[in-house]
Chains A and B, each alone.
Chain A
């Protein structure tokens, strides 16, 4: 045998050995009928693991037994496939169009272009109605305790309420993003405002020797009549130390202007905004009363309205135009078209060259401080609640003693988050779909009678030390990130806040670790109470971002009620409006008054000519009526 043949044989043998050992790596305890494949829209960063099936919590889940159709307990094996970031919608559409969905038993439908009703009508989504009481009682119990969400948890199909999807409910709502600002710049370059006992004097404070931040900053609106009206009617605990009005924001923007000059930053700006000139979820827009740009719920009137041609939106754009003229707004805001709304121009904001922006928790406190970015030296970023307009316009769009309102339409985490559908594939494969439902039911387990750990903890908190030890492998994610003592602990004494389970401080200090060590990506599970080891600063963040109630934002479960015909019209209308606005709103912001008026007239003309707008609104309101 010549050298080439020998080498080839050795290579083939090594490859086979490699493949075999990889296959032998994990023992599969479940039989074919209890082996399930699920598709999730999102995976984890590859620094945790490249394949979601390496999730340690998932491996643990695959060692447990669940009740099946025959009433007996069975091992399950859940195999997960995840979407590619940015391609999820395309993949989902292709999967549903080509029949590829039949490979999966459970699908995360957060990136579906189609409503769940359409998926049901197409024979893809399984009708869960007859299964709910017997196989998903924990889920039903949560809905019973939360009637606001129960209202839209089922879909109206041919006049009947049918459960078509499992939503992930977050009982422990935590906001991951909102407006933030550099408080250190306010401290350094601001002065006590008019009306304050120390008016005109510089602020004092900063980091103490323990690294804790303190300051004596107060905002100008606190010393005005409107500020006292706000305190009396909206937030009696407000002590003026955080901004609440647009006037407070503008006072800060002026300080940021000074800061940029004094710091010698020529490529920064006071604030920036998402490239269309507005955030589609209504942030800052509902600061002018009314709602967002698209469809929103006016709770007082119990009516769904359209905000794109409203006075509130017009006044908001006017404010942006003025900010642009004053040099407060990033001149290139319209060019950051590939950035997501909470990560606009990170190159500038994360190098300390911006005063205020919309971000997630990664920007907070002194997290942005790094040596290679000199502008981040001494940075301290805090959260700000949605402001209320007390400057621009008149009447309903401006806060006054006769017009007290709070922002009602903006992005914040609601209790309802995403959803999953069981597919009808099991009818051909013969799998025990009820057993998979038992798994999801377990992940919605809120409390147990025998004192064992409720299932929501696996979904939201991860594994205890004892649980981890049953599946531990050297080099797995828990091992690499120092979580061998478990991702959470059971407190012996929880009289401090009544929460029995506490996050490992490693995760408490780095929240990004939470999802990779739990099953949180598997939609349809419950997020329950968990003591996340958050300090005072984090409480401030949650207090500010979650201060107002987002009552206007249409839940996904509500949108999911739409049938195929109206859903298409709604999508088409939505996209036409969005495309038109994202071209013309920046022109209004960057243009002069004549351009502003002309473009606004064009917007109104265009929107009023849309074929389906009135029809969609009518259907929405009919649906609202039916669900009430």
Chain B
């Protein structure tokens, strides 16, 4: 028996709810603490961690506006207003560094982002369970290998006479050490390829879960209507996971400028700085390699964070417009 909506009942309920006097925030908190104190206790270490390692260090941003001297410390160093930013923006190679960062980020967001989605969709079409599991597990493995080992492997692959160098020579490319090639966009493509190799399996997990949760009735209905495997994927699976894909893309946009430092640091060399040097490695070198200019490197870090935040806000806004949901 289907119940008709009782709007009068619902209206009565609403009047009842609104007639209950609202408690103050303090009283509500006290009540909630009393009821759910276990949850708060569990949350406490997390809160401390975030405060200590995410908020407290924000104080260090003041170095971006100082002529910072390690020996004098933050309180002893003099302010120089925006001189550090001026030094940063007018450095000869800053433009190149920005270009490289944007180039690698773009490849990461397009090619790098879509591969796990495609992989998840393809995986969902495999019927043989055991085979599917083997493929899935094999795809996760690179994610758990340390970056140092991954880079060491790829250095061998890309070296003259290495697997990839030999493979590319079949297509007319000179057999060379590809990591010594400073032409655009060689290093960018290498960086993206490694990212994909490492992360596509692990990154596909969430999409696999979403695809698995698609209502099977929809697939059944489509099949009855004569849709084949690919058509069902296109008309059923993909539309079902679009909100998730867009949300993940939003998250990715915000962090894309901050990723890949350790990999680039291990892969690059001075002869390919012109295409490989990105903001994070640039900041690292200013801060730690020789001149130890913490003021300028903090300014660079602040600049990078500002860009990342702006991108996150924009992508969240677009996400809200497209999918009607947002992170904040």
**Of the candidates A90, A119, A334, A572, which one forms a contact with B71 in the assembled complex, judged by CB atoms under 8 Å apart?**
A119
Q: Which of A275, A335, A586 has the most CB of B within 10 A?
A: A335
Question: In the docked arrangement, what's the CA distance between A593 and B289, Å?
Answer: 32
The interface on chain B, measured as residues whose beta carbon lies within 8 A of the other chain's beta carbons, has a size of: 21
Q: Are B271 and A97 in contact (CB under 8 A)?
A: no
Question: Which of the residues B69, B70, B72, B269 comes within 8 Å of A334, measured between beta carbons?
Answer: B269
- Give the distance in Å from the alpha carbon of A96 to the alpha carbon of B72 in the complex: 10
Query: Given the known A-B contacts A334-B269, A337-B270, are A575 and B289 also in contact in the complex, defined by CB atoms under 8 Å?
Result: yes
User: Is residue A551 within 8 Å, beta carbon to beta carbon, of the partner chain?
Assistant: no
A615 close to B (CB within 8 Å): no
Q: Would you call the interface of chain A mostly helix, strand, loop, or mixed?
A: helix
The answer to whether B71 and A124 have CB atoms under 8 Å apart is yes
Query: A334 vs B274: C-alpha distance in the bound complex, in angstroms?
Result: 14
Would you call A196 an interface residue if the criterion is a C-beta within 8 Å of the partner chain's C-beta atoms?
no
Among listed A142-150, A397-405, A577-585, interface-contacting one: A577-585
A96 touches B180 (CB 8 A): no
Residue of B nearest to A90 (CB): B288
Contacts A97-B70, A276-B270 given; does A572 touch B291 at CB 8 Å: yes
CA distance A568 to B70 in the complex (A): 11
Please name 6 pairs of A and B residues whose Cβ atoms are closer than 8 Å in the assembled complex, sorted by A: A122-B72, A276-B270, A571-B291, A572-B291, A576-B291, A583-B273
CB distance from B162 to the nearest CB of A (A): 13
Point out residues on B near A: beta carbons under 8 Å.
Answer: 69-73, 92, 177, 179-180, 269-271, 273-274, 285, 288-293
A579 to B92, CA, bound (A): 11
Whether A606 is near chain B, meaning CB under 8 Å from some CB there, is yes
Contacting pair A583 B271 (CB below 8 A) = yes
How far in angstroms is the closest Cβ of chain B from A273?
13
Our pick among A118, A332, A572, A580 for the contact of B293 (Cβ within 8 Å) is A572
Determine if A139 is an interface residue (Cβ-Cβ < 8 Å): no
**Is there an interface contact between B71 and A97, defined as CB atoms closer than 8 Å?**
yes
The answer to the question of A574 belonging to the interface, with a C-beta cut-off of 8 Å to chain B, is yes
A114 contacts chain B at the CB level, 8 A cutoff: yes
Q: With both chains docked as a complex, state the minimum distance between the C-beta of A112 and any C-beta of chain B, in angstroms.
A: 10
The 8 A CB mask of A340-372 against B (1 = contact, 0 = none) is: 000000000000000000000000000000000
Q: How far is the CA of A571 from the CA of B70 in the complex (A)?
A: 14
Residues on B with C-beta less than 8 A from A122 are 71-72
Please, which residues of chain A bring their CB within 8 A of the CB of B72?
Answer: 122
- Is B292 within 8 A of A275, CB to CB? no
Instruction: Give A575-608 as 1s and 0s: 1 = Cβ < 8 Å from B's Cβ atoms.
Output: 1101110110011000000000000000000100
A580 (CB) vs chain B CBs: closest residue: B92
Tell whether A337 pairs with B269 under 8 Å between CB atoms, given A96-B70, A114-B71: yes
The 8 Å CB contact of B290, one of A276, A334, A335, A578, is A578
CA distance A399 to B229 in the complex (A): 81
Of A119, A121, A571, A576, the residue contacting B292 (CB under 8 A) is A571
User: Hey, which chain A residues are within 8 Å of B291, CB to CB?
Assistant: 568, 571-572, 574-576
**Which residues does chain B contribute within 8 Å of A97, judged by CB atoms?**
70-71, 73
B60 to chain A, nearest CB (A): 12
Question: Which residue of chain B is the closest to A609 with respect to CB atoms?
Answer: B92
Given contacts A114-B71, A564-B71, A606-B92, contact A335 B269 (CB under 8 A): yes
Q: Identify B69's interface contact among A276, A332, A564, A582, CB under 8 A.
A: A564
- Residue A93 at the chain B interface, CB threshold 8 Å: yes
Cβ A583 vs Cβ B270 within 8 A: yes
Q: With A and B bound together, what is the CA distance between A276 and B269 in angstroms? A: 10
Q: Which of A562-576 contact B (CB under 8 A)?
A: 564, 568, 571-572, 574-576
Contacts of A575 in B (CB 8 A): 289-291
In angstroms, how far is the closest chain B Cβ from the Cβ of A554?
Answer: 16
| A113 part of interface (Cβ distance < 8 Å) | yes
A residues within 8 A CB of B274?
583
A564 vs B290: C-alpha distance in the bound complex, in angstroms?
Answer: 15
Given contacts A335-B180, A337-B270, whether A571 and B71 have CB atoms under 8 Å apart is no
Q: How far in angstroms is the closest Cβ of chain B from A331? A: 9
Inter-chain CA distance A42–B149, complex, in Å, is 27
Complex CA gap A586/B271 in Å reads: 7
Contact B290 A574 (CB under 8 A): yes
Q: Which residue of A lies closest to B180 (CB)?
A: A335
CB distance from B47 to the nearest CB of A (A): 26
Nearest CB in chain A to that of B161: its residue: A267
How far is B113's CA from A4's CA once the two chains are assembled, in angstroms? 52
Having A113-B290, A332-B180, A587-B271, one finds 18 other A-B pairs with CB under 8 Å, namely A90-B288, A93-B70, A97-B71, A113-B70, A113-B292, A114-B71, A118-B71, A121-B71, A122-B71, A122-B72, A334-B270, A568-B69, A568-B293, A571-B292, A574-B291, A575-B289, A586-B270, A586-B271
